[in-house]
Structure 1
């Protein structure tokens, strides 16, 4: 029995130093995420938003652009839950279909900005030297302008449309992803595991995609989640100004713009799409805060 004790102690010590598997890390992440009340609320909001967007034809009682389904500027009722607009269109149906555009705007815009920004930051941080300096100085130039100004300038060049508004919002957020990626790459490059891999002769592709990229994903995921809410707000603002989605598109910002002339007489036209924007943005922000806490090792262990 005395000979078994050292072996048991050795096994326990090996378990203590053995890194957790991918399934264990995923379980720890989900446990940390579920401990955040805000993250759970945000996840529920977004699940409902996705469900509404997917099943919009089954949920909406009318086509979003169908006119004269009821009296013009009719208040909320049993037949028209959110009332009707100045063309007699069912506002509930338009808000429901607008959830599809909201998700498309947020995801596509963030996809554009994140893809370009991460590539720029990764290349600049890995290479450094003159190429890195040129890339990051270009990002600094974009940083000197506000997101709204960049988006307005892009739409002014491309023309007002929903597609161009999405592109404009995506371009305006590129510097943020580039900066975050650049800083994360510089931190990872100075760690011992990366220096060891480089000393052992690992190729550039392995260094970037096996060692750097997986270890810088955490801050990018958090910023991307919150960035969807920023993209939704920016695109809605462009549509409100007449530079984004054009009538009769049921985009929430466009509905707000159409209802501003009837705010005193029919406030429900602006109230319900405004609430939809606010709740969607809240959901992405709450989930982003929960992800930030769950992906932070110090907060996860506390």
Structure 2
């Protein structure tokens, strides 16, 4: 009796993009730092979205407890000098923190990427003018640029966010400019030019998709820088104004009571530090996952 051997159907390989994306997720989830950073940011986002349900008190309501009351069962993080619940203020402050970071990075990344791409692609006198202007801005620190912008716009949370976004434009422009120069010298780009590809196709089909990886990593870490800068401006009285529950403003209000009521500065300081750590860890994980060397099987 002859045994019939059945041949299994051939395995269809995953499309290249799908396979690359799966490998990207594998490398990303393999990083302990990326996992921790992702969890921190996920918790921060959930707290920001459901702040009204999580916070036991109105963050602006005064006299919900005794002034400078230490942490207790009724007030987990204690109260401030106006008797406001500190836990509720920090919970609502997460909304402001995420809004500041995302809007500031959006301003920086759109303006900086545009400048860097135009300078790197156009070359010539356009490149010289734009990049010399960026070099001039690079001679000043981001904090100094932000302070100058706030001095012109006026102290407020919105203006502080805009100022922080403006201060980081030179950095994104320089990163994008360098990435564009690298892509322009590659064979695929020269081949596309040789067959007569239009400028729009060269920029948005060939250059932009290939420089997104470093921009995404820089933008993720840039959110943490924006959060720190905005908190610093609020601490100096140039950002969020009382009674806004912004973490930097809460820190500024509690500095006069540091010895008597250290919880007023400790908890918002921890909130800032943990959030910044989350963005930095996630940025490191993305950098590793987007590295082609790491995605090799």
Tell me which interval the TM-score lies in, with the shorter structure as reference length.
Answer: over 0.9
* Corresponding residue for residue 117 of structure 2: 122
- Cα shift at 1:277: 0.2
Structure 1: runs of 5+ lacking an equivalent: 1-10
Whether 2:200 is the aligned partner of 1:236: answer: no
* Corresponding residue for residue 174 of structure 1: 169
* Corresponding residue for residue 99 of structure 1: 94
Structure 2: runs of 5+ lacking an equivalent: 1-9
Task: Provide TM-score, normalisation by structure 2.
Answer: 0.95
Query: What secondary structure does 1:298 align onto?
Result: coil
- Cα shift at 1:24: 1.5
The one-character-per-residue Cα deviations of 1:241-265 (angstroms, maximum 9, x if unpaired) are 0000000000000000000001111
Whether 2:195 is the aligned partner of 1:186: answer: no
Query: What secondary structure does 1:88 align onto?
Result: coil
Separation (CA, whole Å) in 1 of partners of 2:26 and 2:294: 12
Query: What secondary structure does 2:282 align onto?
Result: helix
Match of 1:225 among 220, 226, 250: 220
| Stretch deviating more after TM superposition (19-28 or 188-197) | 19-28
Separation (CA, whole Å) in 1 of partners of 2:246 and 2:151: 20
RMSD over aligned Cα atoms? 1.5
Separation (CA, whole Å) in 1 of partners of 2:60 and 2:232: 21
Whether 2:24 is the aligned partner of 1:24: answer: no
Match of 1:291 among 270, 273, 286: 286
| Stretch deviating more after TM superposition (19-28 or 51-60) | 19-28
Separation (CA, whole Å) in 2 of partners of 1:134 and 1:66: 53
* Corresponding residue for residue 86 of structure 1: 81
Separation (CA, whole Å) in 2 of partners of 1:172 and 1:251: 20
The one-character-per-residue Cα deviations of 1:127-153 (angstroms, maximum 9, x if unpaired) are 011011101111001000000100001
Query: What secondary structure does 1:289 align onto?
Result: helix
* Corresponding residue for residue 3 of structure 1: none
Match of 1:164 among 152, 155, 159: 159
Q: Matched residue pairs, number?
A: 288
More helix by share: 1
Whether 2:51 is the aligned partner of 1:59: answer: no
Task: Provide TM-score, normalisation by structure 1.
Answer: 0.93
- Cα shift at 1:22: 2.0
